Structure 1
Amino acid sequence: MTNATPDTISLDMMRECFYSAVVCDALDAHGFRRQSPRVALPPWTVDGVLIGRCKTTLWADMFHEDPEPYALELKAVDSCQPDDVLIAAAGGSVQSGIWGELLSTAARNTGCVGSIVDGAVRDVQKMRAMQFPVFARGTCIYDSQHRQRVIDVDVPVEIDGVKFSPGDLVVADVDGVVVVPQEIETEVVRSAWEKVHAENITRDAIKDGMKATEAWEKYGVL
């Protein structure tokens, strides 16, 4: 379906062929050269590519008893929409495991397709068993109650200086996480789509014996 238009390239179609590096290359080509955090956010539960829309939460560390524990994080999870990816911007804090099995279960029930946590998670084995995609800095067995809490929902947040806004397209896999601002999404999706299919042609040519230099000169794809 290489003749698809940007308006017809659905999230499901992207999931079949997009990956983080090709989307990052497409952003580079359009002058958006700082759209992937340079921090490790590896997949902890499933392999493959996570693609969806940002549902943002902003977290803060706590050093006193929380009068309303879990209030905003539960509100955020319950308000997720189909194809959302919950973004937990916790500033890299590993003071507690802010995401786990129960939140994954509740989020999946709303249609949320995964979570990206700039902090720590727990219940990894259980989340692996349910095949819910989670990307995070690390793990921590401590519960978040009285340690960390959501302080805002559905606002622009940052991970390593990269902005994630509600509704932005986000792509994550073992290579990294990349976010596509909505104002450039149509152009980037088209460019990524074209590059994926050009790479397939180039790969086949190299497999058939073409030299890498010749393939670059002929197809302009690397």
Structure 2
Amino acid sequence: MNKDKAIRVTNFLKKFSPCDISDSLVKHGFPNGGFFPNLQVQSNFELPIVGEAYTVLYAPLDDPRPAISKSYIDSIPLNSVLIIATTQILQLPYAPYTRINNAMYGGLMSTRAKFQNCNGSIIFGRIRDIQEHNNLQYPVMSYGLGTTAPKPVLKLIGINVQLEIVLNSYPNKTTLETIDPGDLIIADENGMVRIPISKIDDSTLENILDYIPKRVKADQLVAEDINEGKEAAKSQKLRRSNL
């Protein structure tokens, strides 16, 4: 996505919640609504988090791929959302969702990310230095907290690469979703949603965006109807009939 379009789209999405985005994604063929479960807000900040994904991948030390020596934190694009994950072998489809007790992200990283005008950091693992993130008023989400740095057990193997996230969408069935560099990320206290820019064309993206305010308006009318004593099911059917 070119810079001007990215700015237009992200500014538009800031007006809505991840729930609104999910409704539109479901309408356009994404059954899970782009939702990545189990992430928790870890710092005080102005919601929502919106931006293009800048991805970072960690692996166990015995992974055959070479470690990357350069730091990912000094190359964050303006107004992006930093997404950090591990390889699949370190992920779990159930709590605590990661096999790693070490934190993958800390306060100094948020300090640098904020200085570079990153819009937020979302970590599919543990973080540490919780008070530092709060003092910065910088947006951070993660699966949980820890105290130990990642270096004793993890190595950096990918920057701006596809991330594969293990999910548990149905009983006894593990599923996999991907996040690609440049995908649109929207997150707040409800959770994180991804619009898969790499998997849709420009026309589909415009249709997804166009549906969002129409659905929001329809649901506002449903709420008004309910407050007037009307049945929810009938009102939903009526107000959404032309969407």
Instruction: Output the TM-score relative to the length of structure 2.
Output: 0.76
Structure 1: runs of 5+ lacking an equivalent: 1-5
Tell me the equivalent position of 1:193: 213
Question: How many Å apart are 1:43 and its aligned residue?
Answer: 0.7
Is the 2:163–2:180 contact (alpha carbons within 8 Å) kept by the matching residues of 1? yes
Tell me the equivalent position of 1:167: 182
Q: Do structure 1's residue 27 and structure 2's residue 47 form an aligned pair?
A: no
Tell me the equivalent position of 1:125: 131
- 1:62–1:111 CA distance, 2 compared to 1 (3 A): same
Give the Cα separation in 1 of the matches to 2:69 and 2:20: 38
Q: Residue 117 of structure 1: SS of its match in structure 2? A: strand
Is the 1:97–1:122 contact (alpha carbons within 8 Å) kept by the matching residues of 2? yes
Aligned residues: CA RMSD = 2.6
Q: Do structure 1's residue 44 and structure 2's residue 42 form an aligned pair?
A: yes
Give the Cα separation in 2 of the matches to 1:52 and 1:211: 38
Question: How many Å apart are 1:8 and its aligned residue?
Answer: 9.0
Is the 1:85–1:116 contact (alpha carbons within 8 Å) kept by the matching residues of 2? yes
Percent same amino acid among aligned pairs? Answer: 25
Tell me the equivalent position of 1:3: none
- 1:100–1:8 CA distance, 2 compared to 1 (3 A): closer
Equivalent residues, number:
209
Q: Which moves more between the two structures, 138-147 or 195-204?
A: 195-204
Is the 2:219–2:236 contact (alpha carbons within 8 Å) kept by the matching residues of 1? no
Deviations 1:168-213 (A, max 9, x none): 1111222222111112432222222321232223223333443313
Q: Do structure 1's residue 141 and structure 2's residue 147 form an aligned pair?
A: yes
Question: How many Å apart are 1:28 and its aligned residue?
Answer: 1.1
Is the 1:85–1:112 contact (alpha carbons within 8 Å) kept by the matching residues of 2? yes
Is the 2:105–2:149 contact (alpha carbons within 8 Å) kept by the matching residues of 1? no
Is the 1:93–1:118 contact (alpha carbons within 8 Å) kept by the matching residues of 2? no
Q: Residue 102 of structure 1: SS of its match in structure 2? A: helix
Tell me the equivalent position of 1:53: 52
- 1:208–1:178 CA distance, 2 compared to 1 (3 A): same
Aligned pairs for 1:71-220 (under 5 A) are 71-72=69-70, 74=71, 76-90=72-86, 91=91, 92-160=98-166, 161-182=176-197, 183=200, 184-220=204-240
Question: How many Å apart are 1:58 and its aligned residue?
Answer: 0.8
Relative contact order: is structure 1 or structure 2 higher (C-alpha 8 Å, sep ≥ 6)?
Answer: 1
1:179 maps to a residue whose letter is R
- 1:136–1:128 CA distance, 2 compared to 1 (3 A): same
1:112 maps to a residue whose letter is C
Is the 2:215–2:240 contact (alpha carbons within 8 Å) kept by the matching residues of 1? no
